[in-house]
Structure 1
Amino acid sequence: MPKVQSHLHLTGAMRPATLDELATRHGIAVPPLAALTGGPYEWAVFQGRYDAARAAIRTADDVARVVREAAEDDAADGCGWSELQMDPTSFAPALGGLEAALEAVLTAAAAATLPMGVVVASSWARSGEHATTLARLAARYAGDGVVGFGLSNDERLGRVEDYAPAFRVAAGAGLLRTPHGGFFTGPAHVRDCVELLGATRVGHGTSAAADPAVLALLAERRVALELCPTSYPPFGVHALNELPVRALLAAGVPVAIGSDDPLLFAVGLAGQYALCRDVLGLSDAELAALACGSITSSAAPEPLKRTMLAGVDAWLAG
């Protein structure tokens, strides 16, 4: 079934074998990164593993390999368009600065066999001023491969209002705005991401299901939630069979499924849809609604969107 990858981080897109090879090549000691399938874990456990993996990406060639393989994996899972999220700050020391880090990813994305866009992300752990710096960087590359601006990491680490100036810059450049929110925090945080940051999508946002008013706001403004089923059980946020996908769809909220960090959660995009079918019991029509939500809320070119939507209709009819 045609679909869009809406929520995928650069480091977390790395194949385990690629991580092993790059770590060995660069002489970096990376502890074994067993998939985060147990738990519940504290966020620090996730961040420590993620940081260890990120340290293995040292050159533009490393970036190119990770992006190429991520595109291959998404294409194999039925993607017609993929949006890859990266924080230039994380790679700037190794690659020669913020701009060089972003350009390495954009060059790799442009060469991929699957059409891709790049979402520049700051972090809830950094200041609003730093986020504005990255938003201005993203704005300079709008139209040249950058399609969005976001905030990653644990949303409890920052105040929503501090990032409003950065998101105004992103909005002025016509970029998607996709902050993480409503993962550890309640529905009020999701509402603030929409009302204070002008979010066009929210990364995760599952807590919105607990507040009918927030659901109504998301539905009215057509703000999509990026759900990544395997990301929640390890942190005790949701059991797989409790993920409120059906409630969100019933409320008219657009939902896009993503894989987040397959390196750490061990499930790619098609596997996330399979879990929605096998664990949540979603029908083919509901799975098609998820695919359509991923397509319509993406930055894919309009002709490509129409082609993918027609493909979903054909899949459902067949």
Structure 2
Amino acid sequence: MSQPSPSRDLRELPKAQLHLHLTGAMRPATLAELAGRYGIVVPPPLPTAAGTWGAFQDRYDASRTALRTPADIQRVIVEAATDDAADGCGWLEIQVDPTSYAPVFGGLEPALEAVLAGAAAAPIPVGVLVASSWRRSPSHAVTLARLAARYAGDGVVGFGLSNDERGASVADFAPAFTLARDAGLLAAPHSGFYTPATHVRDCVELLGASRIGHGTSAATDPVVVELLASRGVALEICPTSYPPFGVHELSAIPVTTFLAAGVPIAVSTDDPLLFGVGLAGQYEILRSSLGLTDEDLATIAAGGIQASAAPPAEKSRLLAEVTAWLDTPASNLCDD
């Protein structure tokens, strides 16, 4: 029997997790416990092969209603950070739209402050990215950008736009992103999941995006790929998010296209509650489905760290640890 190529333990590869939504970060057991406590009925998990955005949103919305107290929020963040740390994560950014939590918590500020308190209690450093929604008005995005700006330096590290990006005008959201960037926050809108490469381009050129949530459609346009590479705009690639919606099969995610062009990639989990795979598992998918080498995976990990909002000293430490991981001799993991 032939032996597999030697490979290193991906749980030991230092990483940054840059695309994780608060509700989607819940452990399934935590959701079950909280839903039982509050009498909430949550739709079943999504099918692994096919689904619809509506089905995803229904389960996500029901799960979000299980977070009703600051203690609930803190538990989710601490547990998510613990899980990511076990997978090699040294810096975590968690994304939240406080709008949906505001009615329960008494306003946007109390909701955001509950998230910040949870982040401060985590076992690894956690930054918070405030996100509006492509499905809400540009004026609402301005409101949330001002909120994020007030907490810049106090745990908020970025501003974004989440949800289904179809049908919204990118230019209309430029004022919100200008406010956020002027406050020193990184800009990280979702784009290029359902929308074409031109949408990704517009997010870079009109919103000043330094990262793009997903952005995989950019691979279809070499000019947009070059734009991302030349500006160092990182793509937050979440492998298990694509097959359920028919966006990509795992073997067709265009990671190699971006790597070859020098586009930074930040592998992330998006919503492990819904998609069922942790951070090291996402890297393992790139190894097994795309045939990426340990050198490729180290390049990706380093790109995510560089694209993060981690302080310079934290970045330097993690990057040195990535180099050390790659310098460690690979082992043959087959026992046969």
TM-score band by shorter chain is over 0.9
Contact 2:46 2:55 in 1 (8 A): no
Which amino acid letter does the alignment assign opposite residue 21 of structure 2? H
Separation in structure 2 between the aligned mates of residue 104 and residue 47 of structure 1, nearest angstrom: 23
TM-score (norm 2): 0.93
Please list the CA deviations of residues 202-234 of structure 1 after superposition, one character each: whole Å capped at 9, or x if unmatched. 000000011110011001110000000000011
- Structure 1: tracts of 5 or more residues without a match: none
Match of 1:31 among 40, 43, 62: 43
The answer on 1:305 being equivalent to 2:323 is: no
Report the alpha carbon displacement of residue 35 of structure 1 after superposing the two structures with TM.
Answer: 4.3
Are 2:259 and 1:249 equivalent residues in the alignment? yes
- CA-CA distance at 1:28 after TM superposition: 1.6
SS in 2 for 1:118: strand
1:150 is matched with 160
**Superposed displacement of residue 38, structure 1:** 2.0
How many equivalent residue pairs?
316
Would you say the 8 A contact 2:67–2:73 is kept in 1?
A: yes
Tell me, in whole angstroms, the C-alpha distance in 2 between the residues paired with 1:108 and 1:220: 36
Corresponding residue to 2:178 among 168, 183, 194: 168
The CA deviation string for residues 264-303 of structure 1, in whole angstroms up to 9 with x for no partner, is 0000111000000011100001000110011000000111
In the alignment, the residues of structure 1 paired with residue 43 and residue 224 of structure 2 have an alpha-carbon distance, to the nearest angstrom, of: 41
Correspondences of 1:168-207 after superposition (within 5 Å): 168-207=178-217
Looking at structure 1, the residues matched to 288 and 312 of structure 2 have their Cα atoms a distance apart, in angstroms, of 32
> Counterparts of 1:118-157 in structure 2 under 5 Å?
118-157=128-167
Matched residue, 1:21 = 33
Deviations 1:226-270 (A, max 9, x none): 000000011111000000101101011111100000000000111
Residues 108-123 of structure 1 mapped to structure 2, 5 A cutoff:
108-123=118-133
Contact 2:20 2:95 in 1 (8 A): yes
Match of 1:6 in 2: 18
Letter in 2 for 1:168: T
Whether the aligned pair in 2 keeps the contact of 1:8 and 1:85 (CA below 8 Å) is yes
The answer to whether the 8 Å contact 2:17/2:89 transfers is yes
| Aligned-partner Cα distance in 1 for 2:28–2:121 | 22
SS of residue paired to 2:160: strand
Q: Which residue of 2 aligns with 1:221?
A: 231
Per-residue Cα deviation, 1:150-205 (whole angstroms, up to 9, x for no partner): 00000004211110000000110010100000000110000000000000000000
Runs of 4+ in structure 1 over 4 Å off: none
1:316 aligns with 2:322: no
Distance 2:276 2:293 in 1: 24
Name the stretch that deviates more: 22-31 or 53-62. 22-31
- 1:183 and 1:205 in contact (8 A); partners too: yes
Amino acid at match of 1:273: Y
Q: Is the 8 A contact 2:26 2:76 kept in 1?
A: yes
CA distance in 2, matches of 1:47, 1:105: 21
Counterpart in the other structure of 1:258: 268
Structure 2 unaligned residues grouped into runs of 5+? 1-12, 329-336
State the alpha-carbon separation in 2 of the partners of residues 185 and 123 from structure 1: 15
RMSD: 0.7
Residues of 1 paired with 2:231 and 2:175: CA distance? 21
For residue 299 of structure 2, the aligned residue among 284, 289, 292 is: 289
Is the radius of gyration larger for structure 1 or structure 2? 2
Q: Is residue 35–residue 266 contact of structure 1 (8 Å, CA) maintained in 2?
A: no
How far apart, in 2, do the equivalents of 1:29 and 1:214 lie? 43
1:228 and 1:16 mapped to 2: Cα distance? 19
SS of 1:171 mapped into structure 2? helix
Report the TM-score when normalising by structure 1: 0.98
Work out whether residues 36 and 265 of structure 1, in 8 Å CA contact, stay in contact via their aligned partners in 2.
Answer: no
Find the aligned partners of 2:278 and 2:186 in 1 and give their Cα distance. 23
Q: Taking every aligned residue pair, what percent have the same amino acid on both sides? A: 67
